[in-house]
Amino acid sequence: MNLPEPTTIKDERLPVLEALADERIGELPAADVPRDQAILVEEHGGVARLAAARREQVLAALERAVRSRRLDWVGRSLDQGEVLDAFASHCAHELDEVEVLAAAPTRLTLGWRRERASVELRAGTVALERLGEHNPALLLCPLSAASVARLADDQRLARRLAICDLVRLEKINAVRASVFVYFEWFLRDAYGVKLVTAAEFTRVLIARGVLSLGMG
């Protein structure tokens, strides 16, 4: 069968396609998939899945986009992919207590004693609740109002899933995972940068009564 020419994948469409390409998610309501990307998906019974014939194209576009996200830190300019690769090497060669269980261009699976966790480059957080169902995950991606609200609403999810925006050097992280601590130490020691809790997340928690500011 002759396939149509590959369609241009718009950057703003990548989070939805990323969710469809992720084995932990795999499908979304068809209404959530932009119609201008219909050539990349298959729809059955109101459910959209990534078209098998387009999977390699989508994965390649995702890898390029998330690895090339530019970071400007303390007079240094580099890509997210370089940071993930460097952290993988750091774990493999300098941390005896951390084991690299799997390494891909956009995802590391790491072990510390009995803990298992992943550090992932992502385009967004579509269907993020499905990413923390098994092992804790640290998502390196842009923070959005939707992801802030989702983690503020679901404290159980917030204890399984962390988000770090390396451009803004802000995080949402209430997960007890030692490898996430090692990642923050690595950023500090290798690049001289420090992550701070996203102010939006704190404001939402205060507004919803989860946190309170004491006086005196």
Give pLDDT tens digits for 159-186: 999 999 999 999 999 899 999 999 999 9
Q: Rounded to an integer, what is the distance from CA 104 to the centroid of its chain?
A: 14
Helix (H, G, I), strand (E, B) or coil at 164: strand
Domain chopping of the chain, boundaries: 11-67, 70-207
Q: What does the block give as tokens for 3? A: 């396939």
| pLDDT for the residue numbered 43 | 93
Give pLDDT tens digits for 51-69: 999 999 999 999 999 999 9
| pLDDT for the residue numbered 213 | 56
Under-50 pLDDT residues of the chain: 1-6, 215-216
| pLDDT for the residue numbered 215 | 41
